[in-house]
Amino acid sequence: MTGIGSHHKARSMNEEWLTPPEILKALGPFDLDPCAPTIRPWDMARKHYDINGDGLTLPWKGFIWCNPPYGRHNIIWLERMAEHGSGIALVFARTETEMFTKFIWPRSDVLLFLHGRIHFHYVSGARAKGNCGGPSVLIGFGKKAVRRLGRCNLAGTLVTKWRK
């Protein structure tokens, strides 16, 4: 499967959603967003791969921001994040899923379970009226992610993990 290059509404899979700018400001800067929306009123990173590219197979360099399309394909993006080992991903906090048991619990370095529910933004920049419909977590890979999530001041519960 090739990379899906945007953030989509979970039910219809046809509407792009943008990460709230306050989250990006608190955590950035980032070198690459491998699954960026095609139209964006603000940049998520210095470089973007959108639906016109294949963010799963193109090269990843530097510190990554990854807000993958929500749904059953999250696992392939988190696998790639774990392999790359440097960046932060934003996904639903569904801790019982295969994505968590295979790539997050054993391979991430830090988790920030956000308090409250995120309100994503439309490509126009306007904030969505409703929230995303589930709890969210920021998943950090690497020492830089541990530092940034530890000092970001986003409301949430931080879980730092040490691996042997």
Element (H, E) at 32: strand 32-33
Considering the domain boundaries, does residue 110 fall inside one? yes
Q: What is the pTM of this model?
A: 0.86
Q: Which residue has the tokens 């691996």?
A: 163
Q: Structurally, how many domains does the chain consist of?
A: 1
Considering the domain boundaries, does residue 2 fall inside one? no
**pLDDT, tens digit, for every residue of 21-44?**
999 999 999 999 999 988 888 889
**pLDDT, tens digit, for every residue of 116-158?**
988 887 888 877 775 555 679 999 999 999 999 999 999 999 9
Considering the domain boundaries, does residue 3 fall inside one? no
| SS3 (DSSP) at 130 | coil
Considering the domain boundaries, does residue 5 fall inside one? no
Considering the domain boundaries, does residue 6 fall inside one? no
Give me the domain span that covers residue 94.
21-160
| SS3 (DSSP) at 83 | helix
Between the CA of residue 9 and those of 65, 72, 123, 137, 151, what are the distances in Å? 19, 12, 12, 17, 30
Considering the domain boundaries, does residue 13 fall inside one? no
